[in-house]
Structure 1
């Protein structure tokens, strides 16, 4: 889980480029932000540092007007301790349907687009990057949640569910009726995924098989 930045680190975060999240500071300051999960170092020269989605949220929090703060909502579980899109079927944390969650999702999606831009040699943002290919379920779920689709609840209520499959680089996406499933397909296509609609032989349930587009 990311640690709270010091006052000096908060000043570095506040001075980041408002669009790209590019950071300026001493090597020690930047390395400390990387350790806290608030920044990452670009792999190609000149190896600049940029805010992660958690870093963008820290800057947004610093920009918020002063006043009494409500209790923090429960952390959304994530393998890297930073952020996880809802894949459907899990218990929603308090505040997941409110504006704070919407800001988190929006920040995570913008951070992912920036990661695409920086890690693709051509700077393209219309196709998934290596991180998405190694986190298929979370990446597809983020694309859906960021576009406004509602994840299914633990009681099986209508909403999307993203699940791993035995196939390499493919996830299964379930949604209630045919129209909703087609809307999910359109959203994923816009996010750089290719999809095909299939039927489970045993249950006859319709689902999408989605894979990150390579070109």
Structure 2
């Protein structure tokens, strides 16, 4: 059985960029994480280190623990102060965090995602979604929408909702009206996605089907 990471290694993993998984630490710490299969060294300059899927799972487990603890605790005025966990808003969240730091957090997460595109797309393009986005479709689409300044749905307000679909590499985006859907489609297309409007056969509700562009 693989030994769990040390406390120092856990701190490096927990401090990884929430979107890109980029790591910061000493050479010895990063080398130890690579040896354990929890990180990899990117072959292209500046040869940064990133979490592997196994490393992401360890970090995700910590995030789930933090989220569970936050649910048990009394809600302060502006929620996730103190958790340090960024999450793209997919729409429908109860009491979504709208504090003054949210815009900065979204901007930082989006810039990190663009950097991940540059580092991992074979041609270094930031105009086209990367493998991380294809593996986290709902979160990636939601981040693109929020980074474009659009608002997710809340219990007391209309907005977008991003949901999984049975189709591979596709998410459904719902909005309160046709204008909102057009705004979402335009934002996603600027972010490197392709989006088309469809009608749900039974309910006749219009929605977007969006997927990351490959070329």
| TM beyond 0.5 | yes
Alpha-carbon spacing, 1:45–1:179, altered in 2? closer, same or farther (3 Å): closer
Q: How many residues align?
A: 174
Task: Measure, in 2, the Cα distance between the counterparts of 1:145 and 1:98.
Answer: 14
Residue 204 of structure 2: aligned partner:
204
For structure 1, the 5+ residue unaligned runs are 14-21, 35-39, 53-69
**TM-score under structure 1 normalisation?**
0.68
Task: Measure, in 2, the Cα distance between the counterparts of 1:173 and 1:111.
Answer: 23
For structure 2, the 5+ residue unaligned runs are 1-6, 16-21, 52-75
RMSD: 3.7
Give the C-alpha shift of residue 169 in structure 1: 0.4
**TM-score under structure 2 normalisation?**
0.68
Task: Measure, in 1, the Cα distance between the counterparts of 2:107 and 2:33.
Answer: 21
Alpha-carbon spacing, 1:91–1:25, altered in 2? closer, same or farther (3 Å): closer
Residue 48 of structure 2: aligned partner:
49
Alpha-carbon spacing, 1:28–1:122, altered in 2? closer, same or farther (3 Å): same
Query: Which whole-Å deviations, capped at 9, do the CAs of 1:14-38 have from their partners, x for residues lacking one?
Result: xxxxxxxx9887412545899xxxx
Residue 113 of structure 1: aligned partner:
114
Aligned with 1:74 (options 75, 80, 85): 80
- Listed as ranges, the matches of 1:18-97 within 5 Å are 26-30=26-30, 41-45=40-44, 48-49=47-48, 73-74=79-80, 82-93=85-96, 96-97=97-98
Give the C-alpha shift of residue 211 in structure 1: 0.5
- Residue 189 (str. 1) matches residue 189 (str. 2): yes
Alpha-carbon spacing, 1:186–1:192, altered in 2? closer, same or farther (3 Å): same
Residue 144 of structure 1: aligned partner:
145
Cα contact 1:41–1:47 (8 A) shared by 2 = no
Alpha-carbon spacing, 1:90–1:31, altered in 2? closer, same or farther (3 Å): farther
Alpha-carbon spacing, 1:177–1:25, altered in 2? closer, same or farther (3 Å): closer
Residue 64 of structure 1: aligned partner:
none
Alpha-carbon spacing, 1:202–1:110, altered in 2? closer, same or farther (3 Å): same
Give the C-alpha shift of residue 179 in structure 1: 1.0
Give the C-alpha shift of residue 44 in structure 1: 1.8
Query: Which whole-Å deviations, capped at 9, do the CAs of 1:95-121 have from their partners, x for residues lacking one?
Result: x21221111111111000000000011
Residue 163 of structure 1: aligned partner:
163
